[in-house]
Structure 1
């Protein structure tokens, strides 16, 4: 019998609709708002009867993109219905589609096509995260806070969060680690000044008082992730960094470099040439036996 986890992975692969139980029509009773258009067909709902999803993981919406979407809605209407769940007070709560809802209000629309689903708080939050991850990337901090909320409010393990959002457990753990960064550094990541890679490199300094100053320097100098990693390692191991700086690599003869490049292109393997006054050695590195067999055939004409 397939496990619950396997079933969930298959559900994610089928799209959002497979995660959403359909609203059931009460037998022998007058149809209620939650029962209308049962079967997944959209209905028009007044935009002012819809409340924002309290589990929304996206904290910022690009004004220019919203204006473009509003202009498109004015011209062509809402192409894809939003997803809502009925509330006891006769109102509706968004599950997915906040950008379309906001843009519809901006375009002056009185109603918006919506599909009704009856889901729990946990399902609503799951669907919000999945919908955002599938349609437009959240920034790293939004993802980190979403995973933290799943853990805190719904007591999910990292493995469960990974399964339900389609990410691997290591990625979930790395996002959660970002929350250890000071607020000022998190703000730089959220604004795009620093990338996820920069943030991961800076985590090595999380217990040091100069972390925020270092993050500001990385942003000001527009350092790459590799440069940031090098700088952080130099801060953590100053003696090693000084030793490396005190012994710069000797200049390589242009002719030797050219021969090395030609050999690497011909063999398809990493080649190192150590030359001193016309004497030295050539080192050819291989990563697997198939590479060694190919090398043997190229150099000696011998098939392994």
Structure 2
């Protein structure tokens, strides 16, 4: 009982400290700052403003409603993080979904972890915290990395240390921002995956990127099929070599006249359409298909009969 009373007294003391104009704590240097920083308190939800540095811009209404229902049932399991701006003035650093969901169900107060931070520190905290989330799309993550470079002046090595990701991983995300904005939107809306996006980066021309993007959507291409399509576009000679190592011609219209006449004779003789491939040098090969063991033996007798004549 004594411990419970002490906890309640501490709560009242901290609340009074936060609301006291004479204790307007704005930096770690200020008096009583050590009593505020790191404490978890119940704040009036109207005292909190959203973070203008919030890197996340897409909030699913359906997922917010689901979260609101969970909060209504179980309460706030993980406190939001705010920074103190002034007396009864706080700004979100992280936890905007929890904040929005709490407002949806009409909560008057919310559990918050109080920090002291300047604008740059607040942006960095919001970006780093945001990158750690599991439900972000690849473009949101890429934009967060880019903002850390542009606005916080972090190098990729420094970002790697802050967010606990390999530098190569960070580079792969940043490269997605080279894609046409339409393709980036398609990735954000889950029409294509990050794997598709990484394959398309190999195409410099954004017009061609869009052409391939349309093929991915219309033909429901897998990542591997997309990689093959992009590779064939970048190396057309390699594609031709793979498909036709000896540059053989299968199109009957392009074949020499003597071959065209011979195909009909062979097909009638063997009772099947005969496949013929001819190289530019005039050399070629004849393929005789068969459909069963009996058919094979029939063709063999025809060949043997021709040899004995």
TM bracket, shorter-chain basis: 0.5 to 0.7
Alignment of 1:181-192 (within 5 A): 181-192=179-190
Give 5+ residue unaligned stretches, structure 1. Answer: 1-24, 249-304
Question: 1:235 & 1:153 partners in 2: Cα distance?
Answer: 37
Q: 1:31 aligns with which of 23, 31, 35?
A: 23
For the pair 1:51 / 2:49, whether they are aligned, the reply is yes
Q: CA deviation at 1:230?
A: 0.3
Q: CA deviation at 1:77?
A: 2.0
Alignment of 1:10-25 (within 5 A): none
Q: Match of 1:73?
A: 71
Q: 1:85 aligns with which of 83, 86, 94?
A: 83
1:242-277 per-residue CA deviation (whole Å, 9 max, x = no partner) reads 2212259xxxxxxxxxxxxxxxxxxxxxxxxxxxxx
Q: Match of 1:296?
A: none
Q: Match of 2:301?
A: none
Q: CA deviation at 1:208?
A: 5.2
Is the CA contact 2:37–2:114 (under 8 Å) kept in the aligned structure 1?
A: no
Bigger-Rg structure (1/2) = 2
Is the CA contact 1:126–1:165 (under 8 Å) kept in the aligned structure 2?
A: no
Q: Match of 1:138?
A: 136
Question: 2:24 & 2:223 partners in 1: Cα distance?
Answer: 55
Equivalent position SS for 1:205: coil
Question: 1:178 & 1:126 partners in 2: Cα distance?
Answer: 21
Is the CA contact 1:73–1:104 (under 8 Å) kept in the aligned structure 2?
A: yes
Q: Using CA pairs under 8 Å that are at least 6 residues apart, name the structure with larger relative contact order, 1 or 2.
A: 1
Q: Match of 2:214?
A: 216
Is the CA contact 1:33–1:90 (under 8 Å) kept in the aligned structure 2?
A: no
Question: 2:135 & 2:127 partners in 1: Cα distance?
Answer: 10
Question: 2:132 & 2:141 partners in 1: Cα distance?
Answer: 13
Q: CA deviation at 1:99?
A: 0.9
Tell me the TM-score normalized by structure 1: 0.67
Alignment of 1:1-304 (within 5 A): 30-32=22-24, 38=36, 40-88=38-86, 90-207=88-205, 209-247=207-245
Question: 2:116 & 2:125 partners in 1: Cα distance?
Answer: 12
Question: 1:168 & 1:126 partners in 2: Cα distance?
Answer: 18
Question: 1:225 & 1:149 partners in 2: Cα distance?
Answer: 28
Q: CA deviation at 1:31?
A: 3.3
Cα separation, partners in 2 of 1:210 and 1:103, compared to 1, 3 Å: same
Cα separation, partners in 2 of 1:81 and 1:202, compared to 1, 3 Å: same
Question: 1:208 & 1:136 partners in 2: Cα distance?
Answer: 29
Q: CA deviation at 1:198?
A: 0.8
Is the CA contact 1:129–1:165 (under 8 Å) kept in the aligned structure 2?
A: no
Equivalent position SS for 1:84: strand
Q: CA deviation at 1:233?
A: 0.7
Give the alignment's Cα RMSD to 1 decimal.
Answer: 2.4
Q: CA deviation at 1:30?
A: 4.1
Q: Match of 1:18?
A: none
Equivalent position SS for 1:234: helix
Equivalent position SS for 2:55: coil
